[in-house]
Structure 1
Amino acid sequence: MRKLVLILGDQLDAHSAAFDGFDARRDAVWMAEVAHESTKVWSTKPRVAIFLAAMRHFRDALRERGWTVFYRELTPAAAVWRAADGRAEPAPGETLADALRESLASLQPERVVLVEPGEWSVREEIRAAISLPLEMREDRHFLCSHAEFAAHAQGRKQLRMEFFYREMRRRHAVLLEEDGQPTGGDWNFDGENRKRFGKNGPPKRQAPRPFPPDELTRDVIAMVNARFAGHPGELAAFDWPLTAADAALALQDFVAHRLASFGDWQDAMWAGEPWLFHSRLSAAMNLKLLDPRQVITTAQRAYRDGAAPLASVEGFIRQILGWREYVRGIYWRFMPGYVELNALGAEQPLPRFYWTGDTVMACLRDAIGQSLRLGYAHHIQRLMVTGLYALLLGVRPRALHEWYLAVYVDAVEWVELPNTLGMSQYGDGGLMASKPYIASGKYIQRMSNHCAGCRFDPAAASGPQACPFTTLYWDFLLRHEALLRQNPRMAMQLRNLARLDDAARTAIRRQAAGIRAASADAP
């Protein structure tokens, strides 16, 4: 064998750089399902299933090309685990490195080729496991290379997504006029994209196109339910595109039926409505089944053809060309130390109900229950419900990061870690975001119907009916007042804090301490 091409679970790109120069007569592909990838964070069943099912479909597609694919498949038999320092640890043969060493000893290729992994520790694990010549190629799925991001960051005192996004728009001529100016005269239409539903709830819309599991996927679901029976989450509603063809259909469905209204309602929430006008495309893109260029081009065409308004199209494209590329740049620029950052000194454990959804807080119950059931929550549910509560409570950022990485089907560390630790938890002290994204329960009341079905009063900061979000919001300002005074963007919130008298401050501190104590003491 001339070369063995390694394909990881989030590299299911038929046009991957790893395949450049592939000769089916002399080369082969290697893929492996390893239990450790599902247990190093205690991954939910939907997250495990989407990776394994998509991998098996990709394997079969490569074999249909006539290529040799060496594939290690997990079986329903339970793995043997031993405890070490409170963490689960794989038995021999259960890690990616173990599987790779075993295969290389048997296959003996001349060299190994792969695209750079999306997780720093996996990249280092592979490097340490391979003694043969190793060629690690840049992942051209992305629109911004490491070198280009480094050039953007060079000499800047602060990194901000908005300036990066404008640079990317110019570089790739996206929503740009012939004179180089942004289409519509502005770079950002976010101010038009913050509408909330009225009392009657979301407008009528067509449900997202379903992708019911085929026989191969049903086999994976059965295996996951057996092998990972003790993991949280459910698979009864598993419904995701798992091939490039289905991902393309999902894109067409979103553009045809939801993109036009995406901008208006992208920040709105409604109980029991997980999809609303969102795209459901992030998992397909992060598995590399869907090229972001195709997504951006299709959305831009919808605007040019009059099928979707500019504010919706720009807001959607900003998530892909802006945020998605920006967080990847942040990740690789600041790893491996980034994962340990904790600028606010938060050390509270993650509440147990994050793994069960068993809480009396209606918004958290809905968002967490949906996350465990579907492996999905849209960005406002993540930032301003589950993430906001953890930030206000003072949860250790790495603990929340590991929960997000375990729960969501679109979670790969390069994208999930900066969004969670940086954007959501302000754990990097402002490397990624210009301020902590904090709000009281009044924000959730304004943007959803959750408070109407909750026993707490979002306007109350203390007392038996006080909303824990509101109590913890004011307590967060009190605890971090000195630090926040250095941030001009926090001026208005600190002026409101100054209006609280000593009695109100004492009551808030006491009630917040009770919330934290009860959370830490939960079994």
Structure 2
Amino acid sequence: MTAHQKPRLFLVLGDQLHPDPHPLLIQALPGDFVLMAEVPEESTHVWSHKARTALFFSAMRHFAAHQQSVGCAMDYWRIGTHDCTSLAAVVHKFVAQHPDISALYLLEPGDQRVLAAMQTCAQTLGLPLNITPDPHFLCSLDDFNHWAARSDKAGRDSLRMEFFYRWMRQRTGILMEAGQPIGDQWNFDAENRNGFGAGGPPPVPQAKRFAPDALTQEACADVSRYFPDHPGSLASFGWPVTPQEALEALDDFITQRLPEFGRWQDAMWQGEAFLWHSLISAALNLKLLDPRGVIARAETALASDKAPLAAVEGFIRQILGWREFVRGVYWRYASQWPSLNFLSAQRPLPGWYWTGKTQAACLKEAISQTLAHGYAHHIQRLMVTGNFALLAGVNPRQVADWYLAVYVDAVDWVEEPNTLGMALFALGPRMTSKPYIASGAYIKRMSNACKQCVYKPDIRTGPQACPYTTLYWYFLMQHADLLRKNPRMALAYKNLDRMADVERTAISEWAEVRLQNLEAL
């Protein structure tokens, strides 16, 4: 920067903690300002889990300390040291203190709410806003939209992850050989996704956890001080908060749990919160890990015969396929997420989603675990808490806000498509071909929760009837006009049609009783 040039302001967001070289900060010159801030709004626009806020604060503070140690003149505003409630307010105050700032620089936000706020902020201040694309992702938004446009041209008005995933495999060469998928299959679901059976899981390798250091302890103390009434606990906090810890967590997964991950990735068991899952989604979403390195480590495990193809493919599909897909879907439908409600669901979210105080064993386990750790694996989210909310007709916006609030890996671009598009079918068939619904039989097959539950999965009506079973059949009846012609729903409707009228009537009557008394479930 020459003497006549005015300084610029580089704002780093809390989920942009890329290892060096940081894609935004490499543009900063001596004399420019670099700013990070902790603000209440990022924990209160949804009622955020204490562990979620603590993870952000700790990871941000470690990032700032590292940047300062390597010579970056970063201004870091901790919670409680300033009176600003939002990022926009921080920028306004900083510019007022430094009126010669000439422009605002930002790495592409993952949250449309934050992007809109920064656009308005820059406009109000009369500053140009320069946005740098985020190189963290393997598929740019432009590339995703070019791929998605093919569906539009074909008149399908629908996007499917499986086709996107195959396209990504072809363009990256990942798990490909001579233009064909390794193993001559695109996915190995048939070999994955088993339940444990009556005997339960084999010995589960202990997942690596990280004892809070001084910075993390300070972050947890600040969360307890400034957000005392927020849900969740900090007692078991052990998430990675630096790139080094994130790599340790990844290597622990690759060596200890990846070989059996595919087989058990959908299974659930009471008292086992982590099982064979990677526990790296939060580190990825904070950008402590690069997805390319994650995929490369999994490929190395395959090449060295340390993990089977089915497990490696299933894991890579989550990174290369689903994660990139939901980001593209999020921004493609950015303006629609706040009001999406394909099935016109309007019931309020039951209060026990915030406490876990329900008699339904599977829900109690998934929610209690979530409150304890800020974590539940994808089947607990999709087929336990999500499935119930879908069957019960809970308002999608309330459910989406709950998911964004209670999980440590929750950021907007991930949670909106996963919750609204997949779990709740609020986007209709534009993202998934059918609603992901299941009766109590699925819970029984994939877990041991039903053995300890007052509700019985094979009973459809009456006080002992499993709510999932009752509401599953009622959901099919209620939405027959929308769903009956869907080929993937044909078997479900064939089974419904076999029921006698008197049984369908009894299910409908009992479902209404259950729905009117959800708080007492």
Distance in 1 (CA, whole Å) between partners of 2:475 and 2:197 is: 30
Q: Which residue of 2 aligns with 1:81?
A: none
Distance in 1 (CA, whole Å) between partners of 2:233 and 2:515 is: 29
Instruction: Report Cα offsets for 1:302-346 as digits up to 9, x if no partner.
Output: 101100000000000000100000000000011111231100010
Query: Match for 1:161: what amino acid?
Result: M
**2:173 counterpart of 1:173:** yes
- Given that 1:348 and 1:520 are in contact with CA atoms closer than 8 Å, whether structure 2 keeps it comes out as no
Paired residue secondary structure (1:273): coil
- Given that 2:352 and 2:519 are in contact with CA atoms closer than 8 Å, whether structure 1 keeps it comes out as no
Q: Which residue of 2 aligns with 1:46?
A: 51
Q: Which residue of 1 aligns with 2:92?
A: 101
- Given that 2:375 and 2:408 are in contact with CA atoms closer than 8 Å, whether structure 1 keeps it comes out as yes
Instruction: Report Cα offsets for 1:459-492 as digits up to 9, x if no partner.
Output: 1110121001101101101101111112110000
Q: Which residue of 2 aligns with 1:142?
A: 137
Note the 1:49-448 alignment, pairs <5 A: 49-75=54-80, 93-108=84-99, 109-130=101-122, 131-156=126-151, 157=156, 158-177=158-177, 179-448=178-447
Note the 1:430-509 alignment, pairs <5 A: 430-509=429-508
Distance in 2 (CA, whole Å) between partners of 1:222 and 1:17 is: 31
Residue ranges of structure 2 left out of the alignment (5+ in a row):
1-5
Paired residue secondary structure (2:27): coil
Distance in 2 (CA, whole Å) between partners of 1:196 and 1:521 is: 30
Instruction: Report Cα offsets for 1:160-199 as digits up to 9, x if no partner.
Output: 101100111111110010x110000001111211211132
- Given that 1:49 and 1:220 are in contact with CA atoms closer than 8 Å, whether structure 2 keeps it comes out as yes
Which of 25, 29, 32 aligns to 2:34? It is 29
Q: Which residue of 2 aligns with 1:85?
A: none
**2:519 counterpart of 1:513:** no
Distance in 1 (CA, whole Å) between partners of 2:260 and 2:247 is: 20
Distance in 2 (CA, whole Å) between partners of 1:5 and 1:96 is: 13
Distance in 1 (CA, whole Å) between partners of 2:396 and 2:27 is: 43
Q: Give, in angstroms, the shift of residue 2 of structure 1.
A: 2.3
Q: Which residue of 1 aligns with 2:3?
A: none
Q: Give, in angstroms, the shift of residue 93 of structure 1.
A: 2.8
| TM-score, length-scaled by structure 2 | 0.95
Distance in 2 (CA, whole Å) between partners of 1:146 and 1:4 is: 25
- The share of aligned pairs that are identical, in percent, is 52
- Given that 1:255 and 1:302 are in contact with CA atoms closer than 8 Å, whether structure 2 keeps it comes out as yes
Paired residue secondary structure (1:5): strand
Q: Which residue of 2 aligns with 1:89?
A: none
- Given that 1:153 and 1:159 are in contact with CA atoms closer than 8 Å, whether structure 2 keeps it comes out as yes
Q: Which range moves more in the overlay, 126-135 or 383-392?
A: 126-135
- Given that 2:476 and 2:493 are in contact with CA atoms closer than 8 Å, whether structure 1 keeps it comes out as yes
Q: Which residue of 2 aligns with 1:4?
A: 9
Paired residue secondary structure (1:276): coil
| TM-score, length-scaled by structure 1 | 0.95
- Given that 1:76 and 1:227 are in contact with CA atoms closer than 8 Å, whether structure 2 keeps it comes out as no
Q: Give, in angstroms, the shift of residue 22 of structure 1.
A: 2.6
Paired residue secondary structure (1:20): helix
Cα 1:76–1:519 change in 2 (3 A) is farther
Q: Give, in angstroms, the shift of residue 116 of structure 1.
A: 1.1
Distance in 2 (CA, whole Å) between partners of 1:247 and 1:447 is: 30
Instruction: Report Cα offsets for 1:11-42 as digits up to 9, x if no partner.
Output: 1113332123333x222311010001111101
Instruction: Report Cα offsets for 1:224-258 as digits up to 9, x if no partner.
Output: 11211111100000010000011011110000000
Q: Which range moves more in the overlay, 219-228 or 437-446?
A: 219-228
Q: Give, in angstroms, the shift of residue 76 of structure 1.
A: 9.4
Distance in 1 (CA, whole Å) between partners of 2:219 and 2:168 is: 39
- Given that 1:76 and 1:223 are in contact with CA atoms closer than 8 Å, whether structure 2 keeps it comes out as no
Paired residue secondary structure (2:116): helix
Cα 1:22–1:76 change in 2 (3 A) is closer
Query: Match for 1:121: what amino acid?
Result: R
Which of 19, 41, 48 aligns to 2:25? It is 19
Query: Match for 2:168: what amino acid?
Result: M
Distance in 2 (CA, whole Å) between partners of 1:426 and 1:504 is: 27
- Please provide the CA RMSD for this pair: 1.4
Paired residue secondary structure (2:429): coil
Query: Match for 2:273: what amino acid?
Result: P
Q: Give, in angstroms, the shift of residue 521 of structure 1.
A: 8.6
- Given that 1:461 and 1:467 are in contact with CA atoms closer than 8 Å, whether structure 2 keeps it comes out as yes
Distance in 1 (CA, whole Å) between partners of 2:251 and 2:305 is: 15
- Given that 1:339 and 1:421 are in contact with CA atoms closer than 8 Å, whether structure 2 keeps it comes out as no
Aligned residues: 506
Paired residue secondary structure (1:167): helix
Distance in 1 (CA, whole Å) between partners of 2:339 and 2:312 is: 36
Distance in 1 (CA, whole Å) between partners of 2:69 and 2:499 is: 68
Q: Which range moves more in the overlay, 353-362 or 10-19?
A: 10-19
Paired residue secondary structure (1:155): helix
- Given that 2:205 and 2:275 are in contact with CA atoms closer than 8 Å, whether structure 1 keeps it comes out as no
Query: Match for 1:98: what amino acid?
Result: A
Distance in 1 (CA, whole Å) between partners of 2:394 and 2:339 is: 13
Distance in 2 (CA, whole Å) between partners of 1:118 and 1:343 is: 24
Residue ranges of structure 1 left out of the alignment (5+ in a row):
78-91
Paired residue secondary structure (1:430): helix
Instruction: Report Cα offsets for 1:365-401 as digits up to 9, x if no partner.
Output: 0000000110000000000000000000000111100
- Given that 2:205 and 2:276 are in contact with CA atoms closer than 8 Å, whether structure 1 keeps it comes out as no
Distance in 2 (CA, whole Å) between partners of 1:399 and 1:364 is: 17
Distance in 2 (CA, whole Å) between partners of 1:491 and 1:199 is: 31
- Given that 1:16 and 1:141 are in contact with CA atoms closer than 8 Å, whether structure 2 keeps it comes out as no
Query: Match for 2:10: what amino acid?
Result: V
